[in-house]
Structure 1
Amino acid sequence: MTTTVEHPALTPAGLGGLALRNRYAVAPMSRVSARPDGTPTGEMADYYAEFARGGFGLVFSEGTYPDSEASQGYLNQPGLARDEHVAGWRVVTAGVRAAGGRMIAQLMHAGAIAQGHPNTVGPSAVQPRGEKMRAYGGSGPWPVPRELTTAEIDDVIDGFAAAAVRARQAGFDGVEVHAANGYLLDQFLTDYTNHRTDSYGGPVANRIRLTAQVVTAVAEAVPELVTGVRLSQTKVNDFTYRWPGGRADAEVIFAAVAEAGAQYLHIASEGRNWLETAKLADGGTITALARQVTGLPVIANGGMHDLAQAHEVLTGGHADLLSIGHGALANPDLPARVAAAEPLAEFDRAMVSPTVTVANARRWRESRQA
């Protein structure tokens, strides 16, 4: 008689006070499919609910802008900056919950790499590397941002806290502070984009200060929700960057956000495989280090649809949950497929080309079914 051993990703998990049916999460993926005013649509509600129906225990929203000043990154990006955004998101979260899933709002301030408005801001007046992303409606070089004043930094913090309150009103189960992938909070953390000489610049303990302050403000604004933070070394406009101090920098960063009130850490890979971005010079992994330093649950990202890699990450002490991007787009029912030992479909880049919209992915599926 043969027995089937359940994949560890299918076992229940906890995240703060949140009980999850498994360890699979849909990674936050920008889809630029909201109305021009930032309100989520019915099509977006269907898109998110499909993942929950497919068995994902946790669904992250795409990066959502928290205020109407300078945080919007892309045209047709959803927001949590106004009351009308709350009503739109409430339909989305209700659909996910009805299908047995939980949903966390990711709050994102784009800062210097915003494509959604002409006036960009950052920690310093440093032109971002690379060029705007065509798949998100941009082209050409990034402009030089205006350096934020300390008073404006306070406004940024307040904007995250206010958006967290709207996330609660919209029915989200938690809030994730997006401090990864080259957006504003990561710009403060990155040495070459932060030339400040005040308490937000210089050593890594200063450069992580704004992220920590935002985490605290969010946790205090919505204590009944789970508060987490997403961090990365790589960026949408710089795939090769690593924290210059390696392990030492990582220890300072992880300790700071944990002390600030984060209940989990989500370590992103920005389109790279986990093995490519997680390895430290001493042979350890950055995700395992995050667990060791903080004692908090850690979510790993990057190629986690690979069953063997996912097994190693979970059983080898590297992370507690897995977030999946492209693999989830190709397999919105991935957990159900894994449970049934069914093969997974390969991701096709045509799903997000020439644009990353939900409508483009729907057309791709319809063409495959024709």
Structure 2
Amino acid sequence: MTTTDLAHPALAPFELGTLRLRNRFTVAPMTRISAAPDGTPTDRMAEYYREYAAGGFGLITTEGIYPDATHSQGYYGQPGLVTAAHVAGWRAVVDAVHAEGVPIVAQLMHAGAISQGNSYGAETIGPSAVAPPGQMMADYGGVGGPWSAPREMTLRDIDEVVAGFAAAAANARAAGFDGVEIHGANGYLLDQFLTDYTNQRTDEYGGPVANRIRLTVRVLQAVRAAVGDLPVGVRLSQTKVNDFTYRWPGADADARVIFGALTDASYLHIASEGRNFLETARLADGSTITQLAREVSGRPVIANGGMHALPQAADVLTGGHADLLSLGTGALANPDLPRRVEAGQPLDPFDREMLHPMANLDTAAAWRARR
């Protein structure tokens, strides 16, 4: 891959709304639980994100950031975008990344029923009073055992969630971020509304999939109004951090409704379909869920899941399955991955010990020191 003819297709530039990306490799949002106790980003976090920019990635998406000071925080050590201190801390992160010539997007995330560490002490909330499946995650500070059933959200709660996302988006703009991504995936609050077994409501937010996507649509509209011309993306997934087997019950029919409801997004980010993406993301008709997202929404699509496997990553792009690639574990193991690909150098394998006993920057630093 040292000549133009052999260059990996992910090295080609791309325009994502107003953003001009040097290549199609993006850093996926990854929980790092390394903020100060009050949710303020640290200098160490600024260096962490700067390293990816210096390593050649075209776009960086932050870890999930909590948007309000009541129910949204999911983990102790998670950063927020609520206070003036949060904004100032993120400004330092953004400045460090921008100094390397790379755009960075803030991902806003409400944990809902699967919050396992909230400094504000609020009870968990969700679409219905249904305990989420699975267990709290020790690597992210969970005490173990099952989640409790959340309090079922009132319509006022729903309005407050939308307002929180909008306020945090305005703070993201004030911090200098180049865009905002709404976390509607992986079992967190917006995905809890979309998921049939956690959403048993009988009002306009429950029942058919067109109702269950309604809160995500409202958040998208509010965030877009708050940030003006900045790109606004939505991250979606079928699988969850607490349920790896779930698929949308209506398969491609559900997907068409979901993607069709989100055409106001600047892009869609389809998350974690598994390491063998081109197998696990297949629909019954042979197409992939990301192809369907591109077709229905008319928007650029980011594919996530096993994109450090470079032949697969190339096939995803050249086969029309997605426009951009996001990398999680591959980026953790290779913060300079795009530069290595450009130079034809091998990639280091991911070691799960980078995340144990805690998936934070201290553990990662200790792992690197042992190498």
Q: Give the TM-score range, shorter chain.
A: over 0.9
**Residue type of the partner of 2:12?**
T
Q: Which shows bigger deviation, 184-193 or 7-16?
A: 7-16
CA displacement 1:220-267 (0-9 Å, x = unmatched): 111121101000000000000000000000000001011xx2110000
Match for residue 161 of structure 2 among 156, 161, 171:
156
The alpha-carbon deviation at position 6 of structure 1 amounts to 1.4
What is the correspondence of 1:167-178 to structure 2 with a 5 Å cutoff?
167-178=172-183
CA displacement 1:141-188 (0-9 Å, x = unmatched): 101100010011000000000000000011100000000000000000
Which residue of structure 1 aligns with residue 294 of structure 2? 291
Is the Cα–Cα contact under 8 Å of residues 135 and 147 in structure 2 kept in the other structure?
Answer: yes
For 2:93 and 2:269, the matched residues in 1 are separated by 22
**Residue type of the partner of 2:70?**
E
Count residues with an aligned counterpart. 366
TM-score by length of 1: 0.97
Which residue of structure 2 aligns with residue 214 of structure 1? 219
For 2:277 and 2:266, the matched residues in 1 are separated by 22
2:198 is the counterpart of 1:197: no
For 2:60 and 2:126, the matched residues in 1 are separated by 29
Which residue of structure 1 aligns with residue 127 of structure 2? 123
* Distance verdict in 2 for CA 1:36–1:326, change over 3 Å: same
What is the correspondence of 1:44-59 to structure 2 with a 5 Å cutoff?
44-59=45-60
CA displacement 1:174-219 (0-9 Å, x = unmatched): 0000000000000000000000000000000000000000001000
Match for residue 349 of structure 1 among 344, 349, 352:
352
For 1:69 and 1:277, the matched residues in 2 are separated by 37
2:303 is the counterpart of 1:300: yes
For 2:97 and 2:203, the matched residues in 1 are separated by 43
Match for residue 262 of structure 2 among 244, 257, 260:
257
The alpha-carbon deviation at position 285 of structure 1 amounts to 0.2
Unmatched segments (≥5 aa) in structure 2 = none
2:138 is the counterpart of 1:134: yes
Unmatched segments (≥5 aa) in structure 1 = none
Is the Cα–Cα contact under 8 Å of residues 217 and 262 in structure 2 kept in the other structure?
Answer: yes
Which residue of structure 2 aligns with residue 362 of structure 1? 365
For 1:362 and 1:304, the matched residues in 2 are separated by 24
The alpha-carbon deviation at position 274 of structure 1 amounts to 2.0
* Distance verdict in 2 for CA 1:340–1:166, change over 3 Å: same
3-state DSSP of counterpart to 1:314: helix
TM-score by length of 2: 0.97
The alpha-carbon deviation at position 278 of structure 1 amounts to 1.1
Which residue of structure 2 aligns with residue 314 of structure 1? 317
For 2:278 and 2:73, the matched residues in 1 are separated by 31
**Residue type of the partner of 2:311?**
A
For 1:270 and 1:74, the matched residues in 2 are separated by 24
Which residue of structure 1 aligns with residue 170 of structure 2? 165
The alpha-carbon deviation at position 5 of structure 1 amounts to 1.9
**Residue type of the partner of 1:254?**
F
Is the Cα–Cα contact under 8 Å of residues 188 and 194 in structure 1 kept in the other structure?
Answer: yes
The alpha-carbon deviation at position 282 of structure 1 amounts to 1.5
